[in-house]
Chain A
Amino acid sequence: MKLRKNIATSETGFIFNPATGDSFAANGLATEILQLLKQDRSPADIKTHLLNRYDVEPRQLEKDWDDLVAQLRDFQLLD
């Protein structure tokens, strides 16, 4: 899973898709995940990072991850 190359993200959670002109506001956790994706970290690597950092069950994380990925696809932010 890769974020499109030209997607602009800011530390405050602002996402801009220059191909469509769409802008989105991400919450803190989504912003952190997007930053990690931009660093070419793999989904497995990012999930491990999140499990270590936050008090979350693996099952819940998988569910939330799938929701996020579906949204990113819907917004045409993934390759």
Chain B
Amino acid sequence: MLPSPVSDSHLPTTDHPKRRCTVAVTGLNAIDSPGPGVAVIRALREAAEFELRVIGLSYEALEPGIYLHDLVDKTYQLPYPSAGTQVLLERLREIHEREGLDVIIPNFDAELPNFARLVPRLEALGIRTFLPTLGQLEARDKLNLRAFGEEHGLLVPRQRPLHRADELAAAAEQLGYPLVVKGKFYDATVAHTLEQARQAFHQLSAKWGLPVIAQEFVPGHEINVAALGDGQGGTLSAVPMRKLYITDKGKAWAGITLEDETLLQLARRFVQGTRWRGGCELELMRAADGRLYVLEINPRFPAWIYLTAAAGQNQPAALLRLALGLPVEPWTTYAVGRMFIRYAWDLITDNHEFHQISALGEL
């Protein structure tokens, strides 16, 4: 018999009166390279203690979450992160005046620095967050990951930042082929030749800017750990998942929860070392010799975060409690062998909805 799912006993049940709460969530792009927002909302909706109004915050008019009315009550468009913090603050203030936001859960790497800078001003408006600090964001940044690993005793593949395409040859000579060429924020390509590496460099620099990162390729099994840090060094939750099906963009399309104390220890070491505040995802590679390499540390929940709720550790609901200043006890168990299998679904809507979000910036 496979282990049965554990109950989510750390979060209050419906015996208590429900807390009314308005939560705004970004990352509604549930596409082939998905943002985590829809999964975060799905997990939040399962938190029995809350009566939620969920406000979606979008960047593009075709983010599917905008049209998922069972999950998202109302959506507002945000300015792109490149517009800066002041423009973002103005827009959030407008939305707050209409919706009375209690909590915002941002889910994009690129927007997190702006939100982290705005934390005191959002608090002054009465909007809570539970985010990593700017220093924490900087420390685990892809560009600093190798030094970060050395400082915290984590194994990180060798890597080099690249500002020009002609630096690729030297990087390839040092790191060998295949060579992983990674964008500053997202996306990565495994290049087997210098020509492929050059092509990847130009694509990634055009999309995400410079520098591009060249990283040593480590063969093995991809494993991710979703974790939640309390900001004091404590790990409230950690759930490891092995990717069972990987898309051509490197995203997990199916995965399964694992039982492996070394993965949990690694997550705890990271959270303790950084005093991580909020959700994060450790992207790991288990090499043939069993050694665990840290490929990336994402400073927010992953798109597969709903699996943590399905396995008995509802991390988004716990983060909501933390943002509201409510206590959360650390979890110690989760269901091993819980699987997710992502699927594509054609959502039907009318074009007036598309026109409305496009023209008015809200739906």
Contact = CB atoms under 8 A, between A and B. Distances in A.
B243 to A, nearest CB: 9
A66 to B, nearest CB: 24
B3 interface: yes
Interface string A42-67: 00000000000000000000000000
A21 B1 contact: no
B244 interface: yes
Interface in B244-286: 244, 255-256, 258-260
Contacts of B337: 8, 16, 18
B128 interface: no
A10 interface: yes
Contacts of A6: 259, 336
B79 to A, nearest CB: 41
Interface in A1-46: 6, 8, 10, 16, 18-21
Interface in B1-47: 1-3
B160 interface: no
B242 interface: yes
B1 A19 contact: no
Nearest to B255: A21
Nearest to A8: B2
B265 to A, nearest CB: 14
Interface residues of A, number: 8
A19 B2 contact: no
B221 interface: yes
B221 A20 contact: yes
A65 to B, nearest CB: 26
Contacts of A16: 2, 337
B195 to A, nearest CB: 35
A6 B3 CA distance: 10
Given A18-B337, A20-B242, A8 B1 contact: yes
B1 A18 contact: no
Contacts of B256: 21
A52 B266 CA distance: 49
A19 B260 contact: yes
Contacts of A18: 3, 258-260, 336-337
Contacts of B221: 20-21
Nearest to B290: A76
Contacts of A19: 258-260
Nearest to A76: B290
B238 to A, nearest CB: 15
A10 B3 CA distance: 11
Nearest to A9: B1
Nearest to B286: A20
Contacts of A8: 1-3, 337
Contacts of B259: 6, 18-19
Interface of A: 6, 8, 10, 16, 18-21
5 closest pairs, A vs B, by CB?
A21-B242, A18-B259, A18-B336, A21-B256, A19-B260
